[in-house]
Structure 1
Amino acid sequence: MTALADLLIRRIAATGPMTLAEFMAEALMHPEHGYYSTRDPLGAGGDFITAPEISQMFGEMIGLSLAQAWMDQGSPASFTLAELGPGRGTLMADILRATRGVPGFHAATTVHLVETSATLRAEQAARVPGAIWHDCADDLPEAPLFLVANEFLDALPIRQFTRDQNGWRERMVGVTEGSLTFGLSAPAPIAALDHRLDDTQPGDIVESCPALPGIVGAVGQRIADHGGAALFIDYGDWRSLGDTLQALSGHDTTDPLAAPGQADLTAHVDFEAVANAAAPARHTRLVTQGVFLERLGITARAQSLAARMTDPALEQHIAAHRRLTHPAEMGDLFKVMGLYPDGCPPPPGTEA
């Protein structure tokens, strides 16, 4: 049993079952035993790998999209370049390198990173010197905002509800015979889920993310007020349906309750909720990651880089391009939604 599991079992014994969101928050961000608080989870030695760690091309395409959006809006003389959940800082470092040749872009920008993990902040500082850190999106400056959030929303704690004949039953974390277990609350009507009664039936599971509206809303409000653009990139779909909770340890799935604090916990993103929270900023339709990257020219970039490579680097490069774009790999699994101000074009790559 992990130290955090012991703490949670004692807490549940004292105060009763907790929501899945409460469990996830503790498992991921407990100050002493939380997953993100205590380690660098990325790469071959971690538990998962993200697109920026697969190839520099991913960050280059993101950088070109944001830089073009900046130019499309008249090249504001001062703006915030931000990332939510920047991991090791690899994506932002690639964005900055790819945009170095864009006239005036670097002179106008200040880099802001939203990160709560001290371990990851240290990694980011080595790759993005001069960055300014924040604990939450609400702390970002009131200024034109050009932002990326790659695999950020999927790590936010979720609640799960199972439809019942008489309402909804919430999935809870309790204790049985000294171990953490899942259970269901008593059925009850939930006003926030009334709109899901038309497209669900008894037994269906719907997920909601309590923190998502506030985070996306803060980004959308700044873009609406001051200009800018945002790219949210994650796995998920337009509307939540089904159990998508997943625990990862050592690049393999595991029981979410088995070792809290030692496995990553994620869930698919409900992009309909992202769109609703973005107002008064405008949002694009969902586009797959593969299509988004192809629109931005990733294949031409891949060919240019390949011309200077020989095996085995060439084989790894080809595999990375395929992994990022092919429908059977990350190409269709991951989706992209752009935010932008009314009256401006959407971020390049997200156009309908």
Structure 2
Amino acid sequence: MILRRALACSRPLPRVARAPSLARWYSPTIYKPDGTTHAVKEELTPLAKHIRDTILATGPISVAQYMQLALTSPIGGYYTRGQVFGREGDFVTSPEISQMFGEVMAVWYVMHWEMMGRPAKTVFVELGPGRGTLMEDIMRAAKRFKSFYASVRGIHFIEKSPELRKLQHDKLGCDWNDTTTVDDKNDSGTTPVSSVSRRYGGLRVGWHDVVEQVAVDKDCVPLVMAHEFFDALPIYKFEKGEGGNWNEILVDVADSNATPMQATSPAQMRGTLQSSSSIDGDSSASHFKLVRARGVTSNAAMVLRDQRFDSLFDKGDRVEVSPESARIMIQLADWISANNGMGLIIDYGADWTQGDTFRGIKSHRFANPLCSPGSMDLTADVDFSYLRFAAKDRAKCYGPIEQGSFLHSMGIQARLQQLLKSTADDKVQKDLVECYRRLTDVHSMGRVYKVLAVLPNSSTGAPVPFAQPTAVDPGNPTATDST
């Protein structure tokens, strides 16, 4: 019944956009009389100058600090821009590809709201909501289920970007006359912090910089969504060296105005940029490079203090770790268990710790993450085993399972069939099929994206379409024991 009613959702026209394609990191070059090729240094932007001056004053910085500055700095951070999503931006997310994605998510929440006994009060909390497209699709589909829709008391967005807040505000049909704002730090405009959605019956919408700022009533069940949120959280990079010590990989200022051009393999392009001195050679025109720390840093001592990192990895292995991801996961797990809520985490990654996935995305292509900080998205694959380990004994985690499997189990094919029947336009039908393929195919987003469900410790049944909770070996949280 829930699925049949969801298939009656409106707006049959698809959204079609291009996915990032693997391409060689581009650097302008000059050719020397001796036949050698050198990269031309890029422009030193205000943000790049700030990062360079910071390094010159204090020494090389962690990859995590570099990511924070490049993504969120008020003097040119990437997410201070508005149009970073879609065909006009740098990358495309699943909700921007097709409405079917958000509609399926709405079905999942309604089904488990029913399983939990139809709680009278719920609230949506979305981390990293982008342009608000996913929540708009969820809420439009939720209208088909009157009892569930009546339970929704509000929407909370975890979003720092003033420009993205404005896009989310307009996407949900919020009224500027009923909007509380604060002055932007970067311009003369204003940033919404609270508003009312006229499109959704006067529903209250709130914006917050961090999860800790969200406050809900004790009897209000949180419905949490984190779609492509954890992949943008800062990571630390380490390499295991002599004597079992972990050397942190840091960001330093490049030594000269031009660095030798060297060939870059596809494997390197999918992983991290290597520095021109101590880490395998650098083919970029960047003002920055990656270097190994000479001794054990405080970050290495703190982040890798768990013995599993010594037992699971050998000399030369690299790992990427995001303590911020663990901190937020702990908070979400505690919150979901305390309030009998539910959550979905959807992102690209693996159920084990990886070492070389740090990369930039610009104009729908992979890019050198150290070039032109602030001009591109910076990202790394999510370690789902690390999230599950953080939530251990705090909440029950199910999965991760592949996005394609999740969407098929939740009825995306049935929704596609109804959309195809709603139009006789051949081009629209082809676009619908292509969107479906993009979301579910194992060679596109269907395999690399994973779905993790989080339920309270008090829950007794496994959520659809997951099996039993995924076990975590306390001594080896990177090992999966999924049924």
Q: CA deviation at 1:242?
A: 2.2
Which residue number corresponds to residue 274 of structure 1? 387
Alpha-carbon separation, structure 2, partners of 1:133 and 1:22 = 24
Q: 1:306 and 2:415 equivalent?
A: no
Alpha-carbon separation, structure 1, partners of 2:171 and 2:80 = 19
Q: 2:444 pairs with 301, 307, 329, which one?
A: 329
Q: 1:26 and 2:141 equivalent?
A: no
Q: CA deviation at 1:333?
A: 0.5
Alpha-carbon separation, structure 1, partners of 2:434 and 2:125 = 29
Alpha-carbon separation, structure 1, partners of 2:445 and 2:49 = 37
| Amino acid corresponding to residue 339 of structure 1 in structure 2 | V
Q: 1:116 pairs with 139, 160, 172, which one?
A: 160
Residues 144 and 222 in structure 1, CA contact (< 8 A), matched pair in contact too:
no
Q: 1:59 and 2:102 equivalent?
A: yes
User: CA distance change for structure 1 residues 141 and 71 in 2, over 3 Å: closer, same or farther?
Assistant: farther
Normalised to the residue count of structure 1, the TM-score between the two structures is: 0.96
Greater CA deviation, 91-100 or 132-141?
Answer: 132-141
Which residue number corresponds to residue 288 of structure 1? 402
Q: CA deviation at 1:193?
A: 4.7
Which residue number corresponds to residue 466 of structure 2? 350
Which residue number corresponds to residue 320 of structure 1? 435
Greater CA deviation, 106-115 or 54-63?
Answer: 106-115
Residues 204 and 241 in structure 1, CA contact (< 8 A), matched pair in contact too:
no
Which residue number corresponds to residue 112 of structure 2? 69
Q: 1:219 pairs with 332, 336, 340, which one?
A: 332
Alpha-carbon separation, structure 2, partners of 1:169 and 1:40 = 37
Which residue number corresponds to residue 250 of structure 2? 172
Gaps of 5+ in 1: none
Q: 1:186 and 2:294 equivalent?
A: yes
Alpha-carbon separation, structure 2, partners of 1:192 and 1:239 = 18
Which residue number corresponds to residue 281 of structure 2? none
Which residue number corresponds to residue 146 of structure 1? 223
- Corresponding residue SS for 2:338: helix
- Greater helix share, structure number: 1
Residues 336 and 350 in structure 1, CA contact (< 8 A), matched pair in contact too:
no
Gaps of 5+ in 2: 1-43, 175-195, 197-204, 258-286, 469-483
- Corresponding residue SS for 2:305: helix
Could you report, residue by residue, the CA deviation over 1:197-233 in whole angstroms, capped at 9, with x for unpaired residues? 2222111110111211221111111111111110000
Q: CA deviation at 1:326?
A: 0.7
Q: 2:237 pairs with 152, 155, 160, which one?
A: 160
Residues 158 and 210 in structure 2, CA contact (< 8 A), matched pair in contact too:
yes
User: CA distance change for structure 1 residues 148 and 346 in 2, over 3 Å: closer, same or farther?
Assistant: farther
Which residue number corresponds to residue 473 of structure 2? none
Identity of aligned residues (%): 35
| Amino acid corresponding to residue 118 of structure 1 in structure 2 | P
Could you report, residue by residue, the CA deviation over 1:247-294 in whole angstroms, capped at 9, with x for unpaired residues? 011111111111000010000001011112224111002100000001
RMSD: 1.4
Q: CA deviation at 1:53?
A: 0.3
| Amino acid corresponding to residue 294 of structure 2 in structure 1 | A
Which residue number corresponds to residue 137 of structure 1? 211
Q: CA deviation at 1:325?
A: 0.4
Greater CA deviation, 293-302 or 237-246?
Answer: 237-246
Which residue number corresponds to residue 60 of structure 2? 17
Q: 2:319 pairs with 206, 210, 235, which one?
A: 206
Q: 2:144 pairs with 81, 84, 101, which one?
A: 101
- Corresponding residue SS for 2:240: strand
Q: CA deviation at 1:297?
A: 0.3
Q: CA deviation at 1:107?
A: 2.0
Normalised to the residue count of structure 2, the TM-score between the two structures is: 0.71
Residues 285 and 350 in structure 1, CA contact (< 8 A), matched pair in contact too:
yes
Greater CA deviation, 329-338 or 174-183?
Answer: 174-183
| Amino acid corresponding to residue 283 of structure 1 in structure 2 | C
Alpha-carbon separation, structure 1, partners of 2:81 and 2:133 = 19
Q: CA deviation at 1:71?
A: 1.6
Q: CA deviation at 1:77?
A: 1.2
| Amino acid corresponding to residue 77 of structure 2 in structure 1 | G
| Amino acid corresponding to residue 41 of structure 1 in structure 2 | V
The structure having more radius of gyration, on CA atoms, is 2
Alpha-carbon separation, structure 1, partners of 2:305 and 2:381 = 19
Q: CA deviation at 1:187?
A: 4.3
Residues 302 and 321 in structure 1, CA contact (< 8 A), matched pair in contact too:
yes
| Amino acid corresponding to residue 349 of structure 1 in structure 2 | P
Which residue number corresponds to residue 3 of structure 2? none
Alpha-carbon separation, structure 1, partners of 2:363 and 2:463 = 35
Alpha-carbon separation, structure 2, partners of 1:335 and 1:163 = 28
Could you report, residue by residue, the CA deviation over 1:166-222 in whole angstroms, capped at 9, with x for unpaired residues? 211111011123621110112437342531222221111101112112211111111
Alpha-carbon separation, structure 2, partners of 1:227 and 1:140 = 16
